[in-house]
A and B are shown apart, each in its own frame.
Chain A
Amino acid sequence: MTQHDTKQAHHDGTTMHRRRITLNDGRYIIFYTFDGATAPLNTGESAPQPEAKPVAEEERRV
């Protein structure tokens, strides 16, 4: 199941984006990015296989 819940707010001159995923063991993980600017370590490589696969996803910008 995938859920998207997006909202946006501005802090300190930047925009904080928040994407929340529920893992299959019930725990959540939240990815924070700012203005979409990130520095991926694995650029150009295929998608990883997570230990706990996401079962629900919620995207928010706060």
Chain B
Amino acid sequence: MSELRWNPLLGEWVATATHRQQRTFLPPADFCPLCPTKPGGFPTEVPESSYDIVVFENRFPSLRPNPEPPAIEGTELYPVRPSAGVCEVVLYSPNHTSTLATEPVEQIHKLVQVWTDRFRELSELEFVDYVFIFENKGEAIGVTLHHPHGQIYAYPFTPPRVARQVEQSRAHYEKTNRYLLSDIINEERRDGRRIIAENSSFVTYIPFFARWPYELHIAPLRHVQALTDLTDAERKDMASILKVVLVAFDGLFNISLPYMMVLYQRPSDGKDYDYYGFHIEFFPPLRAANRLKYLAGSETGAGMFINDTLAEEKAAELRALVKPVAWNTERAGR
């Protein structure tokens, strides 16, 4: 049973997806449904093993291309609509025990290209207004399958947090004739204390306004709206800086750091969003080793985050963990 229900208090949609209660929950490694099917073994989601990256439609989707009508009748106050959209799973590797951080930069580069392809294709669907690429990593985030993977949700509307960013960017542009994300990047680079690393095309930093202790942003130096706007060289630089960030994260507490990673791109509803800037945000839930930052009363109830740390200090911690990225030139050049 799946439908979209309108929340008139907040002016936003909520998806019900009761069938997701049945999804596989933390199976043993020998029974991972995301590993390639082994000969004679139990059937998994992936019938072949010869691939670099695999994308498939989620077996337990919140949104479907051809959704059933809502199971409940809406009212004027409580409109409902079908859960139209697409939910995809992106497998980063056939290797069950790897993570994006441990994959070579060449593999991350391939992932960037796959993300670009998925954004391009899903954006063209008539019922899709926003393509949201993300990864939930680690049990601390609620991950139910450990095999390295991310997800893509193609929504039939622009989700509220994105819409707020878009509106802030539009208002800033109207007021200053400048791009908001470019101004943020310039401010961070001018100050310098919160910068983690930079290459020819991208910069990464803990923003001045970080809500999480290790909230980290990656932004292109050139103002673009989506992955499809990047040049070939910029996509390689994006892979490089992702590798830098992921390795630094894992070095923080010498664990495979849990995080949420989200890619913010322009909406795909056909309108003009020149003022909006593509970027990536990471939200690791840890505030120290084995200590979670909980979204409690203020964060959940009021939407007001309280960060117990200083972005400048946390950025220095991560900056000390930056290591150079080595490309295998033979593989990279193929």
Chain A interfacial positions (CB closer than 8 Å to B):
11-14, 16, 18, 21, 27-35, 37-42, 45-54, 62
Contact = CB atoms under 8 A, between A and B. Distances in A.
Interface string B126-166: 00000000000000000000000000000000000000000
26 contacts: A11-B235, A12-B235, A14-B334, A16-B110, A16-B113, A18-B117, A21-B47, A27-B56, A27-B57, A29-B46, A29-B57, A30-B54, A31-B48, A31-B50, A31-B54, A32-B55, A34-B113, A37-B52, A40-B50, A40-B94, A41-B49, A42-B39, A45-B38, A50-B43, A50-B47, A50-B48
B61 to A, nearest CB: 9
Contact of B54 (A14, A29, A51, A53): A29
B47 A34 contact: no
Nearest to B65: A26
Interface in B11-68: 36-39, 41, 43-57, 59
Given A48-B39, A54-B47, A12 B55 contact: no
A14 B246 CA distance: 24
A52 B33 CA distance: 12
Interface of B: 36-39, 41, 43-57, 59, 94-95, 109-110, 113-114, 116-117, 232-233, 235-236, 331-334
